[in-house]
Amino acid sequence: MATLTSPVSISLENEKNPWLAAAARFDEAAKRLKLDDGMRKVLGTSSKELTVHIPVQLDDGRIEVFTGYRVQHSVARGPAKGGIRFAPDVTLDEVRALASWMTWKCAVVNIPFGGGKGGVICDPNILSDTELEKLTRRYTAEIIDFIGPERDVPAPDVNTNEKVMAWMMDTYSMHARHTVTAIVTGKPMALGGSRGRPEATGRGCMMVTQRALRLMGKRPEDTSVVIQGFGNVGGMAAKLMSEVGFKIIAIVEYDGAVYNPNGLDIIALQRHRKETGSITGFPGGEDMDKTEAMFLECDVLIPAATENVITSQNAHRVRCKILCEGANGPTTPLADEILAAQKVFVIPDILANAGGVTVSYFEWVQDRQGFFWNEQLVNKRLQEIMDESFDAIVEYAQQHNVNNRIAAYMVALDRVAVAIRLRGIYA
C-alpha cells in the first residue's frame, strides 16, 4: 500500500508498522484541516521510490547482493532531504514512513526542503570497513541519478556517520568530475561539514525541553532525565544537558541500563563505555534492568534510539512529565492515546529531533556559498528556529484543541499543501 489511505485502523497486530503509524497521524491532521481528497492523495503518496540491488565483493572473495532504497516523499518545498540507514530490518514501508516524516519535519521548522530517506538492508556490525566502503560507494552509484544538491540530499541516520557521508560525497564527486560538497550533509568538517552538526540533534532536543520547562516554571537543576540511547542523539543530549545542570538519572542502552538518582557523570560514563564497550558496570552508578529504567519516575524521558519503544503494551508504565522524542517514531498511535490520558507533555519527533536536519540545512547553505560560519552563529540560528517552531506548535495545539503531535502534523501538512497549490499540478 503506497498511499496513505483513509480511514486508517490501527490494531494491536499492526501498531508497529511505521507506515501505518505515519498514516494514522496524517489522516487525523488531514481530516482536521479539511484537506480535499486530491490533496490527501498527493501528500499521502511518495513522489518517487527507488529500489536498487548492490553487488559487493566481500573480504573472503564471495559476492553478496544487498538491497537498498531511496524514497523521495515530497519535493514540493525544495530538494528531498533525509538520512540513509544501514540495518538488517530495513523495509520499504519503513523508509516510506521515514521519508514522509522528513517532509513534515522540514515543514515544521520551516526550512526549504522536502522529505526523503534511504536504507540498505545489511548488518553493519559484521561488515569490515572495506566492505562497508564498497557497499556505500556502489549504493551511491546506483542512486546517483536520483540525488543531487538541488534534488535530494542524503545525511547520516541509524548506523551511518560522517565517514559514510565522506565516501558518498567522494563517489558522487568522482562521477560529476568535480567536488560537490552539498550532495550530502553530516560530513566531516574537513570536507565541508558544518560546525555544530554532530551535536545538533541532541542540542535541539535540549532546546525544546528547556522551552517546555519554561512553560512549567521548572529549572534544569530540578529536572531529572532518563535517556534511552547513548549514540549520536542520546549521548549528545546527555552530555549537553548535564553541562547545563540537568540531572541525568538513567541511561538505557540495548545491553543494559545504568542508574544514579543524584545524576550520572556523563563524561565519565562515555569514558567507561569507550574502555569496556558497554555502559554496564559503571562505578558511578548502579546497573539496572533496561525495561525498568525506561519506566523510572522522572521529569523528562528522551527515547533516542529506535521506533516503537512506547507502545500500547507499556505506555501506561511511562512516568515522565515531558516526553521528548529524540528518535523518529518511538511512540505508536495507540500509545499516544494512553499518554494523552496520563497528561504527558509530548514533544513529537518531527519537532523534537529537527535540530539535526536544521543544521544540515545550514551545512547545505554554507557548502553552496563556500563560506563557513562559526559555531556560535550555528547554535544561535538553531536556537531561534527551535524556539520559534516549539512556540508555534504549542500555540497551535492550544488554539485548535489538539495534542502537540497532531498540531505539528497540521502545521506541516498545511505548509506543504500551500506549496503544492501555488505550484499547481504539472500535467
What is the residue type of 212? A
Q: Cβ distance 293 to 257 under 8 Å?
A: yes
Question: Which residue from 136, 328, 366, 404 is in contact with ligand GLU, where contact means CB under 6 A?
Answer: 328
- Counting contacts by CB under 6 A, is residue 82 touching ligand GLU? yes
- Name the minimum Å distance from CB 112 to ligand GLU: 13
Does 147 interact with ligand GLU (rule: CB under 6 A)? no
Residues binding ligand GLU: what is the number (CB under 6 A)? 12
- Of residues 171 and 360, the one with the C-beta less far from ligand GLU: 360
Residues 30-69, one symbol each (x = binds ligand GLU by CB under 6 A, - = not), give: ----------------------------------------
- In angstroms, what is the minimal distance from the CB of 359 to ligand GLU? 8
User: Per this entry, what is the length of the chain?
Assistant: 427
* Residue found under cell 560530513: 187
User: Is 360 a residue that touches ligand GLU (CB under 6 A)?
Assistant: yes
Choosing from 79, 83, 196, 285, the residue that interacts with ligand GLU (CB under 6 A) is 83
Do the Cβ atoms of 378 and 388 come closer than 8 Å? no
- The contact mask relative to ligand GLU for 156-175 (x = CB under 6 A, - = no) is -x------------------
Distance CA 397, CA 407 (A): 5
SS (H, E, C) the chain: CCECCCCCCCCCCCCCCHHHHHHHHHHHHHHHHCCCHHHHHHHCECCEEEEEEEEEECCCCCEEEEEEEEEEEECCCCCEEEEEEEECCCCHHHHHHHHHHHHHHHHHCCCCCCEEEEEEECCHHHCCHHHHHHHHHHHHHHCCCCCECCCEEEEECCCCCHHHHHHHHHHHHHHHCCCCHHHCCCCCHHHCCCCCHHHHHHHHHHHHHHHHHHHHCCCHHHCEEEEECCCHHHHHHHHHHHHCCCEEEEEEECCEEEECCCCCCHHHHHHHHHHHCCCCCCCCCEEECHHHHHCCCCCEEEECCCCCCECCCCHHHCCCCEEECCCCCCECHHHHHHHHHCCCEEECHHHHCCHHHHHHHHHHHHHHHCCCCCHHHHHHHHHHHHHHHHHHHHHHHHHHCCCHHHHHHHHHHHHHHHHHHHHCCCC
Footprint of ligand GLU on residues 248-277 (CB under 6 A)?
A: none
Q: State the nearest-atom distance from the C-beta of 82 to ligand GLU, in Å.
A: 5
Choose which of 155, 236, 238, 279 interacts with ligand GLU (CB under 6 A).
Answer: 155
Q: How far is the CB of 289 from ligand GLU (least distance, A)?
A: 29
Catalytic residue among 81, 105, 117, 247: 117
Q: Given the complex with ligand GLU, which of 40 and 203 has the nearer CB atom? A: 203
Q: Is 332 in the site for ligand GLU (CB under 6 A)?
A: no
Work out whether 187 is an interface residue with ligand GLU (CB under 6 A). no
Binding segment for ligand GLU (CB under 6 A), chosen from 78-86, 118-126, 257-265, 418-426, is 78-86
User: For strand 256-259 and strand 286-288, is the pairing parallel, antiparallel, or unpaired?
Assistant: antiparallel
Residues 337-356 that bind ligand GLU (CB under 6 A): 353, 356
> Is 357 an interacting residue with respect to ligand GLU (CB under 6 A)?
yes
- Give the range of 23-31, 50-58, 70-78, 81-89 binding ligand GLU by CB under 6 A: 81-89
117 is catalytic: yes
Stretch that binds ligand GLU, among 79-87, 122-130, 141-149, 188-196 (CB under 6 A): 79-87
Query: Which CB, 159 or 242, lies closer to ligand GLU?
Result: 159
Q: Does the protein bind ligand GLU through residue 232 (CB under 6 A)?
A: no
Q: Does 103 bind ligand GLU (CB under 6 A)?
A: no
81 in contact with ligand GLU (CB under 6 A): yes
Q: In the complex, which residues of this chain contact ligand GLU (CB under 6 A)? A: 81-83, 155, 157, 185-186, 328, 353, 356-357, 360
Which residues are known catalytic residues? 117
